[in-house]
Amino acid sequence: MNKKNYTLFLNLAFIVIGGYKLYQHFIDGVELPTYQIVLAGFLVLMGFYQLIMLNRNFKKPE
């Protein structure tokens, strides 16, 4: 697996894990500690940020 595929896989994993925790809290009504909610939001934001940066790096002429 090359570096771009590995990075893409990790970004999607971050978004899925963070999104699942936020879904549990806001949709299912599961009580989560505040730090887990904050970290889940951070994972989602970091995943999207890394996807944007990966897309920018992929479009750069070499």
pLDDT (tens digit per residue) in 1-60 = 677 788 889 999 999 999 999 999 999 999 999 999 999 999 999 999 999 988 887 766
Residue 37, Cβ density class (10 Å: 0-12 exposed, 13-18 middle, ≥19 buried): middle
pTM: 0.82
Domain boundaries, the chain: 3-59
| 62: confidence class by pLDDT, cuts 50, 70, 90 | low
| 61: confidence class by pLDDT, cuts 50, 70, 90 | low
7-34 in b/e form (b: 16+ CB < 10 A) is bbeebeebbeebeebbebbeeeeeeeee
